[in-house]
Structure 1
Amino acid sequence: SCEDASTAWGRARRHLRRDDPWQRPARRALETALATCWAVRAEPPMEPNTALDDPPRQAALWIQEARRLDHHAPEVVRVSTVLGDRWEAEGSIAWAQGDTDGAWRGWRDALMADPGRSGLRRQLESVRATRLNLP
Structure 2
Amino acid sequence: MPDPTLPSVQLANAITSQLDQLRRLLALAPPHEAAHILASALDYDTGILGKVTEFMDTGSRFAKIHSEHGVLPPEVWLALGRAAHELNSVGVDLHEHTDTIKQVAKPSAPSSSPAMPPAASAMVIRRRR
Q: TM-score range by the shorter chain?
A: 0.3 to 0.5
TM-score (norm 1): 0.35
Using CA pairs below 8 Å that are at least 6 residues apart, which structure has the higher relative contact order?
2
More helix by share: 1
TM-score (norm 2): 0.36
